């Protein structure tokens, strides 16, 4: 029964490329016209056809993690090319119903009050610091790098990202900056050291807070950089500048207005904010159930329309909007290749299942950026429309301070 149901589902889903599927009973079927990606999958568990029909995204990821779904040549690139290109077609039947139900459920799944936000952050960011050292750059920048030149290394592109954002903040020495989601402290330390500002960075990750605080002390910047283990909504006072990099994806759709209201209230009257976030180049959607369960509980990638609506309600001026397209795909490619090269060390930290999960996550995200209408938005916001120069020329007059030139 379930083999036949899966057969019908794949017949309708694979309209580009070619899938050769071996069922648990040994039967083999081919799907798709044959142009494009050519992928071989073997199902080793008799329960998998049922699970794939009922919850395909979740079952695919779990099958790969468990080793009960194997790919010919372990070809994750080919697999995700096939999946994302076919997923780009309008959903029909059960898939369309599933998408509608997920969009409805997001108001429950993404309700992120402070206590739930802490648990969500701990799930991902309080993993062993040694894990992140296996694939991130030395500064532990865990967000999209900026490849101004295709030949840049990951380290150079992450430095370029930081200084491009700093340019949009229009900084002057002595300014006070509030960083929402400070990670392991790299951005805050760069702003203090290279631009002479004071920074308050907040995170909900115990591990990130510990490491960021230690880094500030080692750099002799504890008098100018302070890290707090706090929810961004609990911060009071006003700041000349606000920066938030790769954190808005964890806010959740029910809290978008609350987030931008906090941005407005924490800015001085002539203040400027820069929000760097993954976004959808399409209408609002829903988070993959596999990503929600295993990688980013409570997370959601917003559509531009959803962000713009919340900015309007907060009565903030959008003074600049920049779209980064394939930069995150390239960042994720670097991360995956570094992680794969350190697979033995990762296995020593966790186990085979975790390593397969992490590779699946990195490759799934890379191909979503390559093929499935996902990008990065940088919103520059202000309370006054004349808070920044009236043209964008200032961003490129002095593209980077000495620190970036040294990285190159």
Q: Are residues 146 and 236 in the same domain?
A: yes
Q: Is the pLDDT of residue 394 over 50?
A: yes
Query: Which CATH number goes with the domain that contains 24?
Result: 3.30.1050
Tell me the pTM. 0.91
Q: Is residue 129 part of a domain?
A: yes
In 3D, which of 391, 368, 376, 342 has the Cα closest to residue 128? Answer: 342
Q: Are residues 166 and 39 in the same domain?
A: no
CA distance 223 to 203: 19
Q: Are residues 73 and 182 in the same domain?
A: no
Q: Is residue 314 part of a domain?
A: yes
pLDDT band (50, 70, 90) for residue 396: confident
Give 27-46 pLDDT, tens digit per residue.
999 999 987 778 999 999 99
Q: Are residues 385 and 269 in the same domain?
A: yes
pLDDT at residue 313, rounded to an integer: 97
Q: Is the pLDDT of residue 398 over 90?
A: no
Q: Is residue 100 part of a domain?
A: no
Q: Is residue 268 part of a domain?
A: yes
Count of domains forming the chain: 2
Domain that holds residue 304: 114-407
The CA-atom distances, in angstroms, between 385 and each of 159, 179, 381, 395 are 29, 22, 9, 17
One of 144, 182, 355, 365 is an active-site residue; which one? 365
Q: Are residues 121 and 51 in the same domain?
A: no
Q: Is the pLDDT of residue 399 over 70?
A: no
The number of beta carbons lying within 10 Å of the beta carbon of residue 343 is 15
Q: Are residues 83 and 153 in the same domain?
A: no
Q: Are residues 380 and 234 in the same domain?
A: yes
Q: Is residue 109 part of a domain?
A: no
In 3D, which of 199, 175, 144 has the Cα closest to residue 366? Answer: 144
CA distance 95 to 101: 10
Q: Is residue 204 part of a domain?
A: yes
Is 365 assigned a catalytic role?
yes
Give 62-75 pLDDT, tens digit per residue.
999 999 999 999 99
The residue from 28, 54, 89 where one domain ends is 89
pLDDT band (50, 70, 90) for residue 121: confident
Give 311-367 pLDDT, tens digit per residue.
999 999 999 999 999 999 999 999 999 999 999 999 999 999 999 999 999 999 999
Q: Is residue 277 part of a domain?
A: yes
Query: Which CATH number goes with the domain that contains 270?
Result: 3.40.50.150
Residue in the structure block whose two tokens are 């695919």: 60
For residues 376-380, give the mean pLDDT.
98
Q: Is residue 279 part of a domain?
A: yes
For residues 141-149, give the mean pLDDT.
97
In 3D, which of 244, 245, 187, 272 has the Cα closest to residue 221? Answer: 187
Q: Are residues 266 and 360 in the same domain?
A: yes
């Amino acid at each position: 029964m379930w083999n036949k149901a899966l057969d019908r589902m794949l017949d309708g889903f694979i309209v580009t490329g070619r899938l050769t599927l071996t069922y648990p009973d040994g039967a083999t079927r081919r799907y798709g016209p044959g142009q494009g990606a050519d992928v071989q999958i073997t199902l080793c568990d008799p329960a998998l056809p049922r699970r794939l029909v009922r919850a395909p995204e979740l079952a695919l990821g779990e099958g790969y993690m468990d080793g009960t779904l194997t790919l010919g040549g372990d070809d994750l690139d080919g697999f995700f090319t096939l999946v994302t290109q076919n997923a780009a077609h309008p959903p029909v039947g059960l898939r369309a119903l599933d998408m509608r139900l997920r969009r409805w459920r997001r108001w429950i799944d993404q309700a992120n009050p402070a206590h739930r936000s802490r648990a969500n952050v701990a799930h991902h960011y309080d993993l062993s610091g040694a894990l992140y050292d296996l694939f991130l750059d030395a500064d532990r920048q865990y967000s999209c790098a900026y490849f101004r030149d295709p030949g840049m290394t990951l380290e150079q592109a992450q430095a370029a990202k930081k200084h491009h954002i700093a340019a949009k903040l229009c900084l002057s020495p002595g300014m006070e900056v509030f960083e929402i989601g400070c990670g392991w402290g790299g951005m805050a330390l760069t702003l203090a050291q290279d631009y002479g500002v004071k920074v308050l960075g907040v995170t909900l990750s115990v591990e990130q807070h510990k490491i960021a605080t230690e880094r500030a002390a080692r750099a002799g910047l504890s008098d100018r950089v302070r890290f707090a283990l706090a929810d961004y909504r609990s911060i009071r006072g006003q700041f000349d500048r606000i920066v938030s990099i790769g954190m808005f994806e964890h806010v959740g759709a029910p809290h978008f207005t609350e987030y931008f209201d906090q941005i407005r209230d924490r800015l001085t009257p002539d203040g400027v904010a820069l929000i760097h976030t993954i976004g959808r180049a399409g209408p609002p959607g829903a988070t993959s159930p596999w990503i929600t369960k295993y990688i980013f509980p409570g997370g959601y990638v917003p559509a531009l329309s959803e962000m713009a609506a919340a900015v309007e309600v907060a009565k903030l001026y959008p003074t600049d909007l920049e779209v980064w397209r394939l930069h995150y795909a390239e960042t994720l490619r670097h991360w995956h290749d570094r992680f794969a090269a350190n697979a033995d060390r990762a296995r020593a930290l966790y186990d085979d299942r975790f390593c397969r999960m992490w590779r699946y996550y990195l490759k799934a995200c890379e191909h979503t950026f390559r093929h499935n209408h996902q990008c990065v938005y940088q919103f520059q916001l202000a309370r006054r429309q004349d808070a920044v120069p009236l043209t964008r020329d200032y961003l490129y007059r002095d593209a980077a301070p000495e620190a970036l030139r040294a990285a190159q």
